[in-house]
Amino acid sequence: MSGVTEPMSATATRCEPILICYEDSPDAVRAIEAAAALLGPRRAVVVDVLPWMTPAESMAATSSVVPGNAFEELNGAEARRIAGRGAEIARSAGFEAEPRGELASATWEGIVGVADELDAAVIVIGSRGLMGMKKIFDASISQQVAEHAGRPVLIMPPQR
């Protein structure tokens, strides 16, 4: 053995799916379009991650007869609906896309968990472009994903 490795073939690099984060925004659509242009047609999983319960839903669950799991079911259905819309957009951009709705206490943790489960080749995510104090107090999901993913992350900046 000479220690020289052969480059991966184009088909070998396209086995692993990419994970596209979609939250039904214009920036998420732009991220799908950029990923299609940069990565070409391949298998993609389009994910939307929502919380099990919003703070308002938590209060309603503790102060009424509405069971907490009803909110989880509603939020899960909403995440699947949003991911389905994103998968349609991804398919129109040339991806072989499947939707996936997830619930997680922290959005970035849900994204990284799905990427780990799929062994995604790359995570594609949009950025809201937070600035100044808002960025300090409202930590960027894309930044948290990039810090914790342990794999390539393609972050689409907001449109100027």
Domain boundaries of the chain, sorted by first residue:
26-156
The H or E element that residue 76 is part of is helix 68-92
Domain 26-156 fold: Rossmann fold (3.40.50)
pLDDT of residue 139: 63
Answer yes or no: is pLDDT of 59 > 60.
no
pLDDT of residue 159: 81
Letter for the amino acid at 103?
A: L
Answer yes or no: is pLDDT of 110 > 80.
yes
Letter for the amino acid at 115?
A: A
Residues 39-68, mean pLDDT to the nearest whole number:
70
Cβ contacts of residue 16 below 8 Å, gap of 6+? 118, 119, 120, 121
Residues 111-140, mean pLDDT to the nearest whole number:
79
pLDDT tens digit string along 16-49? Answer: 999 999 999 999 999 999 999 999 999 999 999 9
Residue 88 in contact with residue 111, Cβ under 8 Å?
A: no
pLDDT of residue 34: 95
Q: Is 69 helix (H, G, I), strand (E, B) or coil?
A: helix
Does this model's pTM top 0.85? Answer: no
- Determine the Cα–Cα distance for residues 6 and 20; give it in Å rounded to an integer: 29
pLDDT tens digit string along 128-144? Answer: 765 554 554 446 899 99
